[in-house]
Amino acid sequence: MTETDPHALFETWFAEARASEPNDSNAMALATADAMGRPSVRMVLLKGHDDRGFVFYTNLHSRKGGELAQNGHAALLFHWKSLRRQVRIEGPVEAVSAAEADAYFASRGRDSQLGAWASDQSRPLDARATFEARFDDMSATFADGEVPRPPHWSGFRVVPEQIEFWTDRAHRLHERRLFTRAGTGWQEGLLYP
């Protein structure tokens, strides 16, 4: 039977990717654009997904954080080479709740937590030693307890308006299933390869 709920289909494909991809099956390309429409793209990690959308976390002062503040739309791309599949997702972004951000931050390794405090992500760095010294300072600052979530660190949820499932086929005769948000449900169609 063909799956007609794109979130359920994504979960099926994602489970298969976790079993077959050698590294970071949750890696996704995140495309953003600034207020002038100039795009940028980078790899981030999916940290949660459900019917509400697809979640990732970042420094809010990073380039992507600034671009999302200026232009609240994004696109995601999962490419699972071992499965010869892709999933493309487009839609507006919304901030995760403070409770969601706190819970995820608390689950991170201590060094990753300290790195979130030490890094001015996306800003120029004069030398690696500067960052390492800041990391050491944060290690000393929080030596006696838990590392709280920095106020400039949180997450975003991409709320899908479109989800495309691409399957590789011989002779470039690929299959492309497009799900488009229609009220509270989804409309499904096909795209030419």
Amino acid at site 5: D
| Residue position matching structure tokens 């201590």 | 110
10 Å CB burial of residue 189 (0-12, 13-18, 19+) is exposed
Instruction: Give the active site residue among 38, 172, 177, 181.
Output: 172
Active site residue 63: no
| Residue position matching structure tokens 């690929």 | 174
50-78 burial, b at 16+ Cβ within 10 Å, e below that, comes to: eeebbbbbbbbbbbbbbbbeebebbbbbb
Rounded Cα gap, residues 132 and 118, in angstroms: 8
CB atoms within 10 A of CB 117: 19
Structural Rg of the chain based on CA atoms: 19
Residues marked as catalytic? 172
